[in-house]
Structures are given as C-alpha cells and as structure tokens.
Amino acid sequence: MTQHPGNPAGLSDPHDIDLFEFARSGRQAAGVVRVSQLPRMLNEVPVEAPDRDTAFTWQAEGATQPELQGDGTEGPQPYLRLAIHGAAWLECQRCMTPYLQAFNVDATYRIVSTEAEAEEFPLDEDEVEVIVGSRQFDLIDLIEEELLLSLPLVPKHEVCPEVHESLVSGVAGAEGEGDEAAPDEAGEGAEPERPNPFAALESLKRGEPGDKKH
C-alpha cells in the first residue's frame, strides 16, 4: 500500500481526527512519526543507542463494511486499517548492547462507539481488533500503542556481535566466576520467562472483565 506523495494526507492534525468520518468517507492519510514524539516508546530506547530518535512511517485508511446490526438490518460499519514501518534501537537482553529492531505493523480495526460496545463485540476473528472511536481521535496514540504491543518479549540481536577480544583471550575469570561468559549455555531455548510489560495494554484494549466494575 503505497501513498502518492502528491496526494496530501488531508489531516491537519493526526492527534485529533474524526475517526467515524474518516472511515465513512474512506479517507487515507500517511505521515512520519519520530520516537521522540512517542514518550512511552522512547522509554524503551537505551541512552547509549547511536540514534535514539528514529522514525516510523505510517499509513491509515478508512473504510466501511456492511454488517448485520442489532435490529436485523444491514448497515455500513466503520473500519480502520493502519500500517506502520520503521525501526527503533532496543537493548539486547543477551549482550546488553543496543541493536536496531524493525517494526512492521499492519492492523485492521473495527471501530465502535462505546467501551460497552467494544466489550460485547465478538472477537472470533483474530485479525480484527476493536477500538473505540471518537470525533477527536488521537491516531498517533494508537500508533504508539501498536508499536508497544509489537515490542519483542525478549529484545535481542539475531546474532550478537563478537565478544570483545580481551574478554575471550586468556583473561577469563579475571572478573570472577565468569558464568555470563558461556555463550553456548546462554543461547537458544534458555530465555528467561519474563512477563510482557504490555500485556496489560492488550487486555485493556479487549476490555478485561475485571475492569468493568464501577
């Protein structure tokens, strides 16, 4: 899905869009957002990263799809498709140095009007997420949330860079037991189980049962 640069996105402010109108009129928008504009993402980027302020390109597209409604008639229901591409520096949990992690998100959302509607919505289709729309919808916030949900559970290099020569040749043990220095044992399959810090976000999105009580 490529955007034509000559076709202006038509969004004055992606922090404030009428999402229902956006879907109903099948509009499209695209833009670039930098990590420095996404405070929660920026938190994930190590200070020693070569470039903390990497960029993501995004494309959004509104659509409607006829669906059976509560009253038994068919009506056009609003949808949003969102694609995000880019990269951010994260800290490798194996060698503790920064590496560049690619992000490629392509999500489809059914837009509903209220939290209650979102909670009732049948989620039998895994590839469609449900979001509560608004007439002042913050698209950048949704982009940040998708990026956070796309963070790897255990960020790491595919292949860690070579350990510095001085650590390999001869001086092993100078720092003590050196149990960190056995790459074979720390390798595949030995990842520590770590709760995903963003699992809570995911359940918020889906409407946790425990969250309903007032």
- The residues that touch Zn ion, with contacts defined as CB under 5 A, are 92, 94-95, 157, 160
Q: In whole angstroms, how close is the CB of 188 to Zn ion at the nearest point?
A: 13
Q: In whole angstroms, how close is the CB of 92 to Zn ion at the nearest point?
A: 3
**Which C-beta is closer to Zn ion: that of 153 or that of 160?**
160
E strands along 92-204, which residues? Answer: 98-112, 128-132
Burial (Cβ within 10 Å: 0-12, 13-18, ≥19) of residue 164: exposed
Q: CA–CA separation, 20 vs 78, rounded Å?
A: 7
Q: In whole angstroms, how close is the CB of 91 to Zn ion at the nearest point?
A: 9
**Which C-beta is closer to Zn ion: that of 159 or that of 174?**
159
Q: CA–CA separation, 63 vs 3, rounded Å?
A: 16
**Cβ density class 48-70: b for 16+ within 10 Å, e for less:** ebeebebebebbbbbbbeeeeee
Q: What is the DSSP string of 138-164?
A: -HHHHHHHHHHHTS-SS---SSPPPPP
Strand order in the sheet with 98-112: 28-34, 55-68, 74-91, 98-112, 128-132
**Which C-beta is closer to Zn ion: that of 95 or that of 105?**
95
Q: In whole angstroms, how close is the CB of 89 to Zn ion at the nearest point?
A: 12
**Which C-beta is closer to Zn ion: that of 98 or that of 207?**
98
Q: In whole angstroms, how close is the CB of 161 to Zn ion at the nearest point?
A: 7
**Which C-beta is closer to Zn ion: that of 32 or that of 154?**
154
**Which C-beta is closer to Zn ion: that of 68 or that of 163?**
163
Q: In whole angstroms, how close is the CB of 177 to Zn ion at the nearest point?
A: 21
Spatial contact of 156 and 99, defined as CB atoms under 8 Å apart: yes
